[in-house]
Amino acid sequence: MAQNLNQFSTQNSENTNALDLIELWLILWNKKWLIIALSFLCCASVLAFSLTLPNMYKSSVLLSPQKQQEGGGLSALAGEFGGLASVAGINLGGSSDETGVYLEVIKSKDFLYEFIENNNVKVNLFAAKKWDKDSETLELDDSVYKNGQWLVDEKTQETFEPTLYEAYERFLKSLTIEQDKVTGLVEISFEHIDPRVSKMYVENIVTLINKSVREREIAENKESIKYLNEELTNTNIAEMQNVFYTIIEEQTKAMLLAKVRKEFAFKVIESPIIEEQKSSPNRAVICILGAAFSVFFICIMVLLVHFIRDNKATNARA
């Protein structure tokens, strides 16, 4: 008897669910023309919005970390005299990979603040309005930047020029840095409405990081050589003098190598180009997703309005 009651309850629940779905479908079907009209308006709005978005162009450079390719005298000395050098405060390099450190340096405020100030980043990110592909010119917004100067808001009397931090935040949003965990190769990309700007910024980032790392390496080598020469004059032990001479020789070689090699931190494998094909926005995807969400939202609203009116009518009759 109990089993029969359970089966009857289950069947009744299934029938109720089926009736509920049919009822919802009938409500939507009765309002189909309203749903179609509103969906059409929403889709047209989404399409119009997507057409207002400017085309973005991404330029990329493929890099090989130079530190992974280094060996030589300093690496050999690191194993033989590493303990002595560390006590003396001298870095012999060894096999450590500093690629991750360099990539974090690129994203740091110290690095990008200098880059922003020297590469007209504020104008290109905040005043750029439109890229004319035919004439290859970048149109600037003369309501905020005109005749080489940032304008002032007449109401607030505040300049339209963004702060360094605002420029830093926006620059990071357009900058992409990725490293392949298998090959170790690094890809740096930048996206902008002007493909020439994208290419220029990627090139300049690589140049600046190589320059910064090279100058730091040369400065450290000079300090190491200076310290070793001072210690050399203060010891009379022949074995220690030989050690110092050997380390000084290798530090001098490393410093000369840093002075000669421009691609010190990263070697360019594939140079950036001026892209002709846009990277974003994907207007087809925007329209499809916009249409799907619009239809779903409109159907929910139609059902909600129907049940609110139905509930008011029931309460009025009661």
The span from the CA of 265 to the CA of 220, in Å, is: 15
**Candidate ranges 7-21, 88-102, 130-144; pick with highest mean pLDDT:** 130-144
Query: pTM of this prediction?
Result: 0.75
Question: For residue 59, what are the contacts with CB-CB under 8 A and spacing of at least 6?
Answer: 189, 190, 195, 198, 199, 201, 202, 272, 273, 274, 275
Lowest mean pLDDT of 11-15, 101-105, 283-287, 298-302, name the range: 11-15
Evaluate whether 93 touches 75 at the Cβ level (below 8 Å): yes
Question: For residue 49, what are the contacts with CB-CB under 8 A and spacing of at least 6?
Answer: 286, 290
Strand 57-65 to strand 266-270: parallel, antiparallel, or no bridges (unpaired)?
Answer: antiparallel
Q: Strand, helix or coil at 95?
A: coil
pLDDT: which is higher, 160 or 78: 160
Q: Is the pLDDT of residue 18 over 80?
A: no
Burial 272-292 (b: 16+ CB within 10 A, else e): beebeebbeeebeebbeebbe
Record the tokens describing residue 314, joined without a space.
Answer: 């029931």
The one-letter code for the residue type at 106 is I
Assign 70 a pLDDT band (cuts: 50, 70, 90). very low
Percent of the chain at pLDDT above 90?
33
Q: What is the pLDDT of residue 25?
A: 80
Q: What is the pLDDT of residue 91?
A: 53
Q: What is the pLDDT of residue 90?
A: 53
Assign 71 a pLDDT band (cuts: 50, 70, 90). very low
Q: What is the mean pLDDT of the chain?
A: 82
Q: What is the pLDDT of residue 19?
A: 47
Q: Is the pLDDT of residue 1 over 50?
A: no
pLDDT digits (tens, 9 = 90+) for 45-66: 888 888 888 889 999 999 999 8
pLDDT digits (tens, 9 = 90+) for 183-234: 999 999 999 999 999 999 999 999 999 999 998 888 888 888 888 888 888 8
Q: Which of 148, 207, 202, 206 is nearest to 171 (CA)?
A: 202
pLDDT: which is higher, 284 or 87: 284
Evaluate whether 295 touches 35 at the Cβ level (below 8 Å): yes
Q: Is the pLDDT of residue 308 over 60?
A: yes
Lowest mean pLDDT of 5-9, 48-52, 150-154, 241-245, name the range: 5-9
The span from the CA of 47 to the CA of 53, in Å, is: 10
